[in-house]
């Protein structure tokens, strides 16, 4: 296994005591892992994700992704890093309303100077079951469809790392299930995924590793067995037996 | 208690003999409740004694006896199904007692116990997630609903352990 992400003694302090600070966090993530970062709101889990994504800088400590120490990059360098290595999926999709689904998907490719990405964009939308609505505007898509477009956009540049911050938080159960099934499929195809959620059911659904963050610290790092088990080994229903 | 009504419920669909009751009961529960054939026969005999089921015809092949629901059995079943579960909550798992003893017997080992318990709950959540997905894939939405109940219970257990851990770190344990 190759190490993809390494955080060493990372601290993030916000002026004015805003919550979400991190306090001496160290973490290593291997390529191909599906890791969930779980914690209550304000625990620092989204801050952790933003630091790995290069959206924010630590107050102290090192963030190394794919061999690059993000601390050594200037603003332009960080923007390039994000564009080339990171796909980001947010709770509230963040699609541009005046562009079609396909046009939204193609934005990161165009930023990279790849003008001929349309075929790949359509292939991605097809893979996500969205090719029929490629030319629709976001307002005409359901929440679940918008999130799938956002996932396609996150994947267009073949990111080394896919980061998802509460990706089902704004979706109904059925659409949320579809998005999680999609992330599971991407993981099976080799995608490294880091999922941030406050929901333990979601964290344990596909991830084989659950990192718990509380008050800016990692308090637990659990690796789960993924082997399927017999129903009787997992849950037993038993009524109270009476002798009469 | 539920085994008795489980048998009545299955016989409400059609007359069955003991082995069929066992197989259908276990399959209904999706492997989450295994019963031995002796329990089934004892239950059927008690239900017959109480007039809730009755044998149909004579013993067939290898002494098999078919049972059907009597009118009073049907009434008892309908009544039972309409009643909410209002008895005391059952806490079967050892963790509740371990928690009380950990602070008395092995002073200071509580955080370690809570940490290990948290991992066990996370693993159980993972396994239940898989089980729920499998049940849905198999078209067993009834079983998926049962497993969903177990999932939500485990989520509550996890929150409880997290809360205890936070209390312990904050020095608030008595």
Check: CB of residue B7 under 8 Å from CB of residue B70: no
> pLDDT tens digits, residue range A12-47?
998 876 677 999 999 999 999 999 999 988 899 999
Q: How far apart are CA B44 and CA B54, in angstroms?
A: 9
pLDDT, residue A243, reads 41
% pLDDT > 70, chain A: 97
User: What does the pLDDT average to over A184-203?
Assistant: 93
Beta-carbon contacts of B152 under 8 Å, excluding residues fewer than 6 positions away, are A201
Which of A198, A214, A234, A240 should one mutate to test binding to chain B, selecting the residue with the greatest count of B CBs within 10 A? Answer: A234
User: What does the pLDDT average to over A218-226?
Assistant: 93
Look at B119 and A200 and tell me if their CB atoms are within 8 Å.
Answer: no
Which contacts of A117-126 are long-range, i.e. CB under 8 A and separated by 24 or more positions? A117/A156, A120/A156, A121/A152, A121/A156, A124/A152, A124/A155, A124/A156, A125/A101, A125/A149, A125/A152
Q: How far apart are CA B94 and CA B92, in angstroms?
A: 7
Q: Which residues of chain A lie closer than 8 angstroms to B122, CB-CB?
A: 200, 203-204, 210, 222, 224
Q: How far apart are CA A6 and CA A35, in angstroms?
A: 13
User: What does the pLDDT average to over B133-158?
Assistant: 95
> pLDDT tens digits, residue range A54-64?
999 999 999 99
pLDDT, residue B157, reads 94
Longest pairwise C-alpha distance within chain A = 79
pLDDT, residue B97, reads 87
Q: Which residues of chain B lie closer than 8 angstroms to A239, CB-CB?
A: 1-3, 6
Confidence of residue B173 (pLDDT cuts 50, 70, 90): very low
Confidence of residue A239 (pLDDT cuts 50, 70, 90): low
Which of B126, B141, B149 should one mutate to test binding to chain A, selecting the residue with the greatest count of A CBs within 10 A? Answer: B126
Q: Provide the 8-state DSSP code for B40.
A: H
Q: Provide the 8-state DSSP code for A73.
A: -
Closest residue by Cα to residue B166 from A204, A39, A25:
A39
- Can you name the residues that pair with B17 across neighbouring β-strands? B66
pLDDT, residue A87, reads 92
Q: Which residues of chain A lie closer than 8 angstroms to B2, CB-CB?
A: 237, 239-240
Mean pLDDT over all residues of chain A? 90
Kindly list the residues of chain A whose beta carbon comes within 8 Å of any beta carbon in chain B: 200-201, 203-205, 210, 212, 214, 219-220, 222, 224-226, 228-242, 244
Q: How far apart are CA B20 and CA B26, in angstroms?
A: 10
Report the gap between the CA of A18 and the closest CA in chain B (Å).
Answer: 21
Closest residue by Cα to residue B166 from B111, B120, B100:
B111
pLDDT, residue B61, reads 65
pLDDT, greater one: B108 or A9: A9
**Is the pLDDT assigned to residue A244 strictly greater than 80?**
no
pLDDT, greater one: A110 or B38: B38
β-pair type (B16-17, B66-69): antiparallel
Q: How far apart are CA B94 and CA B78, in angstroms?
A: 35
- Taken in order A107, A109, A115, A121, the sign of the CA dihedral is negative
User: What does the pLDDT average to over B71-100?
Assistant: 91
Which contacts of A182-189 are long-range, i.e. CB under 8 A and separated by 24 or more positions? A182/A128, A182/A148, A182/A151, A183/A34, A183/A151, A184/A34, A186/A155, A186/A162, A187/A32, A187/A34
Confidence of residue A195 (pLDDT cuts 50, 70, 90): very high
pLDDT, greater one: A128 or A191: A191
Q: What is the model's pTM?
A: 0.87
- Of A77-86, A212-221, A231-240, B57-66, the least confident: B57-66
Closest residue by Cα to residue A231 from B152, B29, B117:
B29
pLDDT, greater one: A131 or B127: B127
Confidence of residue A188 (pLDDT cuts 50, 70, 90): very high
Q: Which residues of chain A lie closer than 8 angstroms to B118, CB-CB?
A: 212, 220, 222
pLDDT, residue A242, reads 43
User: What does the pLDDT average to over A74-99?
Assistant: 91
**Is the pLDDT assigned to residue B172 strictly greater than 50?**
no
**Is the pLDDT assigned to residue A78 strictly greater than 80?**
yes
């Amino acid at each position: 296994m190759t190490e993809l992400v390494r955080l060493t003694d990372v601290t993030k302090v916000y002026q004015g005591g805003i919550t979400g600070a991190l306090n001496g966090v160290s973490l290593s993530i291997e390529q191909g892992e599906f890791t969930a970062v779980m914690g209550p709101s304000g625990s620092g889990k989204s801050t952790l994700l933003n630091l790995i994504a290069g959206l924010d800088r630590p107050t102290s400590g090192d963030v190394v992704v794919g061999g690059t120490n993000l601390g050594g990059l200037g603003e332009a360098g960080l923007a390039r890093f994000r564009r080339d290595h990171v796909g980001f999926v947010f709770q509230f999709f963040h699609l541009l309303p005046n562009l079609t689904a396909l046009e939204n998907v193609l934005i990161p490719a165009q930023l990279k100077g790849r003008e001929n990405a349309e075929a790949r964009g359509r292939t991605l939308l097809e893979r996500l079951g969205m090719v029929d609505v490629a030319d629709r505007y976001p307002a005409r898509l359901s929440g679940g469809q918008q999130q799938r477009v956002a996932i396609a956009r996150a994947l267009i540049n073949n990111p080394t790392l896919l980061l998802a911050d509460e990706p089902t938080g704004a979706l109904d159960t059925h659409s949320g299930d579809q998005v999680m099934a999609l992330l599971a499929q991407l993981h099976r195809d080799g995608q490294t995924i880091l999922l941030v959620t406050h929901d333990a059911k979601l964290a344990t659904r596909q991830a084989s590793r659950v990192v718990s963050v509380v008050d800016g610290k990692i308090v637990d790092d659990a690796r789960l067995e993924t082997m399927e088990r017999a129903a009787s080994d997992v849950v037993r229903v038993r009524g109270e037996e009476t002798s009469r | 208690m539920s085994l008795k009504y489980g048998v009545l419920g299955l016989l409400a669909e059609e007359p069955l003999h003991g082995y069929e009751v066992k197989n259908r009961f276990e399959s209904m529960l999706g492997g989450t409740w295994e019963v031995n054939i002796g329990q089934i026969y004892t239950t059927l005999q008690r239900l017959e004694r109480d007039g809730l089921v009755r044998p149909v015809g004579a013993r067939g092949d290898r002494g098999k006896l078919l049972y059907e629901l009597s009118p009073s059995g049907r009434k008892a079943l309908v009544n039972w199904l309409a009643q909410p579960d209002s008895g005391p909550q059952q806490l079967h798992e050892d963790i509740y007692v371990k928690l009380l003893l950990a602070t008395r017997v092995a002073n200071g080992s509580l955080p370690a116990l809570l940490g290990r318990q948290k991992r066990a709950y996370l693993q159980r959540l993972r396994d239940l997630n898989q089980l729920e997905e499998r049940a849905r894939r198999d078209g067993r939405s009834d079983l998926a609903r049962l497993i969903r109940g177990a999932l939500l219970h485990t989520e509550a257990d996890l929150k409880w352990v997290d809360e205890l851990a936070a209390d312990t770190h904050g020095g608030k344990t008595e």
